Structure 1
Amino acid sequence: MVGSNDRSKFRLTVRYIVATALLLVMVFPYLYMVLSSFAAWNQVDRKLIPTSYTLKSYIWLFTGGESGVPRPWLHAFFNSVFVSLASTLLMMVFGVMVSYALAKVKFRGRSFVNNVILFQMFFPAIILLVPNFLVIQKVGLYDTYWAMIIPKAVSLWAIFMYTNFFKAIPTAFIEAAKLDGATDLQILYKIMVPMSKSITTVIFLFLLMERWTELLWDMIVVRSDGMLTLNVLLSQMFGPYGAYPGPMYAASVLLTLPIVIIFLIYSKKFKEGMQFSLK
């Protein structure tokens, strides 16, 4: 009996050690980036853990680097927040509405639509880059917020996730609501959406992260300084300044910090949603 308890404790200890090691492996790159952003320039990428720290990299960023011309960081940050939130909310609204129809509304061609969505999910999105750009240019949306928002307003992945979740909700709830005179739109936003808070958090975080880190499309459809997102501004700035690793780490911290904060706020709901999606 004693030997069995000792083996159990040993196995548990080994699991904790392995889990801790894996956690350090995953977290250390971000920690290294943060430390390097505050490190003295003569220690950046020369020491694994810097011993001297300064704000020089951040000051260099906000004062315009060698050009000495301050960049519109706050405005670019606002652009990123506005475009990311608007695109994400549209993707979720369309995702919820289409998914409800595919999961709970019987109509001719539903299987065909489902198959088309599955096919499009495996279709390389970059192939549509030029056609989408030409459409945006033809309709006069070039260099506007709409050019960055509308083409990113639909997510097939969100539709797929919501459809699978809605299928698991008993139809009895919908039938009872219809007997009380509720419309499909009322059922969707008063019954289905409140019941899907956990999966909604997962979808929201993934979509927001994907849109926040978008670079190629935003570079193509905007040209004026007032329309630049944070990603585009950083890419423009570090084209000629690639030899400055300290400020590059600082810029990366500024870019990832909002996503990290949002994830920490919604981490509990995120774990609940992931548990469902992995069932």
Structure 2
Amino acid sequence: MVGSNDKNKLSLTIRYSVATLLLLVMVFPYLYMVLNSFADWSQVDRQLIPSSYSLKSYSWLFSGGETGTPRPWLNSFFNSVIVSVGSTVLMMVFGIMVAYALAKIKFRGRDAVNNFVLFHMFFPAIILLIPNFLVIQKVGLYDTYWAMIIPKAMSLWAIFMYTNFFKAVPTTFIEAAKIDGATEFQILYKIMVPMSKSITTVIFLFLLMERWTELLWDMIVVRSDEMLTLNVLLSQMFGPYAGYPGPMYAASVLLTLPIIILFIIFGKRFKEGMQFNLK
């Protein structure tokens, strides 16, 4: 009996050790970036774990570096916030409205729209890159916030996720609300949306993360330095700022920080939403 317990303990120890090792392998690149962002400039990229630290990279970054002004780093960071939040909010609003119609409102052609959404989810988005760019140019939105926000204002994945969730909501709730005189919009925003907080958190975080890390589209539709997002700025600065790896690491940490903070804040609801998706 003792031998069996010893074997179980040994097996458990091996599993935890392997899991810990794999976790360290996955997390270490990010830890390396964070450590080097705080490292003294003489220690950056010289060893795996720097031996001396300072805030010089961050102070250089926020003081503007060679330009003597917080731009372009801070300006690009706020551009990323505006574009990402604006696009995500629109994707959420349109996703909820379309999904509710597809899940709970009977209309002619509903099945065709559902099939189109499923088909388009597997359609390579890069194929539409040039047509979308030409449309942006024709309507005069090139090099504006709207050029980065409007083409990203619809998410078929969000529609698909909300549609499946709304289908699981009992129709009796909707029928009871209609008997009380509620309109479709009132049912949507006073009943359906509050019931979908967990799945909304999952969709919001994934959409925001996807839009926050967007590079190709933002690189194509902006020209002026004032409109650059932080992703685009970082991609363009590897050449001119190759001699300043510390500030580059610091800017990369700033790029990831909002996503990490949001996951920490909404972690509980995110887990609840993921549990619903796995059912």
TM-score between the two structures when normalised by the length of structure 1: 0.92
Could you tell me how far apart the structure 2 residues matched to 1:198 and 1:69 are?
A: 42
1:116 aligns with 2:116: yes
Report % sequence identity. 83
Classify 1:43/1:176 alpha carbon distance in 2 versus 1 (closer, same or farther; 3 Å).
same
Give the match for residue 95 of structure 1: 95
Q: Within 5 Å, which residues of 2 pair with 1:116-265?
A: 116-265=116-265
Could you tell me how far apart the structure 2 residues matched to 1:191 and 1:69 are?
A: 49
Could you tell me how far apart the structure 2 residues matched to 1:172 and 1:26 are?
A: 47
Task: Tell me the amino acid that sits aligned with residue 118 of structure 2.
Answer: L
Contact 2:64 / 2:73 at 8 angstroms: preserved in 1? no
Gaps of 5+ in 2: none
Aligned to 2:52, what secondary structure does the other structure show? coil
Contact 2:64 / 2:72 at 8 angstroms: preserved in 1? no
Most deviating of 66-75 and 51-60 = 66-75
Could you tell me how far apart the structure 2 residues matched to 1:177 and 1:67 are?
A: 60
Give the match for residue 38 of structure 2: 38
Most deviating of 193-202 and 135-144 = 135-144
Task: Tell me the amino acid that sits aligned with residue 223 of structure 1.
Answer: R
The alpha-carbon deviation at position 57 of structure 1 amounts to 2.4
The alpha-carbon deviation at position 196 of structure 1 amounts to 0.7
Could you tell me how far apart the structure 2 residues matched to 1:4 and 1:70 are?
A: 64
Most deviating of 2-11 and 268-277 = 2-11
The alpha-carbon deviation at position 24 of structure 1 amounts to 2.1
The alpha-carbon deviation at position 195 of structure 1 amounts to 0.7
Give the match for residue 24 of structure 2: 24
Could you tell me how far apart the structure 2 residues matched to 1:266 and 1:101 are?
A: 28
Cα deviation per residue 1:148-189 (whole Å; 9 max; x = unaligned)?
111010001111111111111111111111121111111111
Classify 1:180/1:70 alpha carbon distance in 2 versus 1 (closer, same or farther; 3 Å).
closer
Task: Tell me the amino acid that sits aligned with residue 203 of structure 1.
Answer: I
Aligned to 2:204, what secondary structure does the other structure show? helix
Could you tell me how far apart the structure 2 residues matched to 1:236 and 1:63 are?
A: 19
Could you tell me how far apart the structure 2 residues matched to 1:73 and 1:41 are?
A: 19
Aligned to 2:113, what secondary structure does the other structure show? helix
Give the match for residue 80 of structure 2: 80
- What value does the CA root-mean-square deviation take over the aligned residues? 1.9
Cα deviation per residue 1:101-149 (whole Å; 9 max; x = unaligned)?
1111111211111111111111111111111111111111112111111
The alpha-carbon deviation at position 15 of structure 1 amounts to 3.4
How many pairs does the alignment contain? 279
Gaps of 5+ in 1: none
Give the match for residue 71 of structure 1: 71
Could you tell me how far apart the structure 1 residues matched to 2:73 and 2:65 are?
A: 13
Most deviating of 67-76 and 239-248 = 67-76
The alpha-carbon deviation at position 232 of structure 1 amounts to 2.1
TM-score between the two structures when normalised by the length of structure 2: 0.92
Give the match for residue 47 of structure 1: 47
Could you tell me how far apart the structure 1 residues matched to 2:19 and 2:6 are?
A: 20
Could you tell me how far apart the structure 2 residues matched to 1:7 and 1:103 are?
A: 52
Contact 2:95 / 2:158 at 8 angstroms: preserved in 1? yes
Most deviating of 72-81 and 173-182 = 72-81
The alpha-carbon deviation at position 4 of structure 1 amounts to 4.6
Task: Tell me the amino acid that sits aligned with residue 136 of structure 1.
Answer: I
Classify 1:217/1:229 alpha carbon distance in 2 versus 1 (closer, same or farther; 3 Å).
same
The alpha-carbon deviation at position 268 of structure 1 amounts to 0.8
